[in-house]
Amino acid sequence: MTPTIAIIAPGNMGAGVGRRLTENKVTVLTALAGRSEASVKRAREAGMSAAAERALAEADFLLSIVPPGEALALARRLTYVLTAANNKPIYVECNAVNPRTVNHIAEVIAATGCPFVGAAIIGPPPKPGSTNTKFYASGPAAGAFAKLNDHGLDVRVLAGELGAASALKMSYAGITKGFTALGAAMMLAATRGGSAAALKAELAESQPALLGYLNRQVPSMYAKAYRWVAELEEIAGFVGEECDEHAMLTAAARFYERIAQDVEGEKKEIGELDRFLKS
pLDDT by residue for the chain (279 residues), tens only, comes to: 899 999 999 999 999 999 999 999 999 999 999 899 999 999 999 999 999 999 999 999 999 999 999 999 999 999 999 999 999 999 999 999 999 999 999 999 999 999 999 999 999 999 988 899 999 999 999 999 999 999 999 999 999 999 999 999 999 999 999 999 999 999 999 999 999 999 999 999 999 999 999 999 999 999 999 999 999 999 999 999 999 999 999 999 999 999 999 999 999 999 999 999 998
pTM over 0.75: yes
Assess whether 140 and 220 both reside in one domain: no
Assess whether 181 and 95 both reside in one domain: no
User: Which of 161, 190, 216 is the C-terminal boundary of a domain?
Assistant: 161
Identify which of 173, 131, 181, 42 has the alpha carbon closest to the alpha carbon of residue 30. Answer: 42
User: Which of 161, 186, 214 is the C-terminal boundary of a domain?
Assistant: 161
Assess whether 132 and 252 both reside in one domain: no
Query: Which letter does DSSP use for residue 180 in this model?
Result: H
Assess whether 207 and 146 both reside in one domain: no
Identify which of 262, 192, 256 has the alpha carbon closest to the alpha carbon of residue 224. Answer: 256
Assess whether 257 and 149 both reside in one domain: no
Decide: helix, strand or coil at residue 141.
Answer: coil
Assess whether 14 and 95 both reside in one domain: yes
Exposed/middle/buried for residue 134 (C-beta within 10 Å: 0-12, 13-18, 19+): middle
Assess whether 32 and 137 both reside in one domain: yes
Q: Which domain holds residue 189?
A: 167-278
What does the pLDDT read at residue 185? 98
Assess whether 139 and 213 both reside in one domain: no
**Other Cβ atoms closer than 10 A to 266:** 10
User: Which of 161, 196, 217 is the C-terminal boundary of a domain?
Assistant: 161
Question: What total of structural domains would you count in the chain?
Answer: 2
Q: In what order do the strands lie in the sheet with 155-157?
A: 49-50, 27-30, 4-8, 61-64, 90-93, 116-122, 134-138, 155-157
What does the pLDDT read at residue 279? 85
Write the CATH number for 62.
3.40.50.720
Assess whether 141 and 178 both reside in one domain: no
Write the CATH number for 183.
1.10.1040
Assess whether 29 and 156 both reside in one domain: yes
Tens-place pLDDT, residues 240-272: 999 999 999 999 999 999 999 999 999 999 999
Assess whether 183 and 51 both reside in one domain: no
Assess whether 175 and 95 both reside in one domain: no
